[in-house]
Amino acid sequence: MSDIVLGISIVSFIIWLYLLALRGQFWRTDQQLPQGENKNASVCVVIPARNEADMLPMTLRSLLTQEFSGALTIFLVDDHSTDGTAEIARSIAQTFDSDRVRVISAAPLPAGWTGKLWALEQGIQQAMELTPDYILLTDADIQHDPENVKNLVSWAIEDDRELVSLMVRLRCVSFWEKLLIPAFVFFFAKLYPFRWSNDPTRSLAAAAGGCSLIRSEALERIGGMNAIRQALIDDCALADAIKASGTRRIWLGLTRSTLSLRRYDSLDTIWQMVARTAYTQLNYSPILLVGAVLGMFVVYLAPIVVMNWVGLLTYGLMSIAYFPIVRFYRVPVGYALCLPAIAFLYLLMTIDSALKYWQGEGGAWKGRTY
């Protein structure tokens, strides 16, 4: 038995050596959007909004006050809201005496589409009539830095990128947010190392749906949202479609100044957010689920369970890898030591995601189940 325990410890240690040295430096936080200059370009912003009346006074205003010298038109697609989302959007536009905001009432959801992608498709169709240089897809809970659009466009032009996407800074205020949100970004980066996604020579592609600037011709080339109309992890599906079809030049990075205002004050809210798509990430495969459970145990839990010198050394490597994202989110450094417990919670969320799928509940979001 002692030989088996030692063997598991050594395997976990080797895995962490590989992750730190050979997994695209995923643990680093250096892929960040640089400061740019105003460019002569036109941008249409498309926002799918379903019951977002409480967010728009902050998020829509942030788009109307952009320090961007090019043409900027906003298409907000009201996805059958029941809280007055459309009226709030029109009121904000009137406050700014702005004709740049166009509110669209979404058509009924057709079969084979997710609600968000159907809303995006309708907004994109109308935006394309203006023949913009770029389409900015963003969520209704995103508060944009005043220079965000300028910086996105500048980087897309200067670095010749067909897609520039930001993993916006997620809200990290409550205890559960501080415990679990940095890890959400950490795990995403481990699955999709930003450096590899940004490398045209690699096939791996990733994006963050909350803020993605896309060259219009690239969006037309893939056939718009119709190409990914059933995807629940739509951002990475979109990045993959664009990278596979064109110049392969896409970019994903972090930002400190463009924020998601979505609140995750309780364990349940984060649990539902993760469980909605975790099993989708495993392609709904029971075999991959078993592999994920075993993998999570060996990688994150075994170093603590076995508690030998190899395990302690591995635990140290794990904490070192997690520290940069903890520092990026400015939470107490002690949270860097909590990764095994955090991983255990995420493992339970993944298992719950599979159970929901097997029970026919699928991914639930704002009254819809997929």
- Cα separation, 40 vs 22, in Å, equals 40
Helix (H) or strand (E) holding 212: strand 211-215
Taking residue 7's Cβ as centre, other Cβ atoms within 10 Å add up to 11
- Cα separation, 43 vs 97, in Å, equals 19
Task: Using the structure block, give the residue that is written with the tokens 């099993």.
Answer: 279
pLDDT tens digits for range 259-271: 999 999 999 999 9
Contact 178, 170 (CB under 8 A): no
Structure tokens at 164: 């520039």
Contact 261, 36 (CB under 8 A): no
User: What global pTM score does this model have?
Assistant: 0.93
Closest CA to 24 of 160, 262, 189, 233: 189
First to last CA, the chain: 45
Least reliable range by pLDDT among 67-71, 89-93, 366-370: 366-370
pLDDT tens digits for range 181-240: 999 999 999 999 999 999 999 999 999 989 999 999 999 999 999 999 878 788 999 999
Percent of the chain with pLDDT over 90: 87
Quote the distance between the C-alpha of residue 27 and its chain's center.
Answer: 16
**CB-neighbour burial class of residue 97 (10 A; exposed 0-12, middle 13-18, buried 19+):** exposed
What structural domains does the chain harbor? Answer: 2-27+267-353 (no CATH), 43-260 (3.90.550.10)
Closest CA to 311 of 64, 75, 15, 24: 15
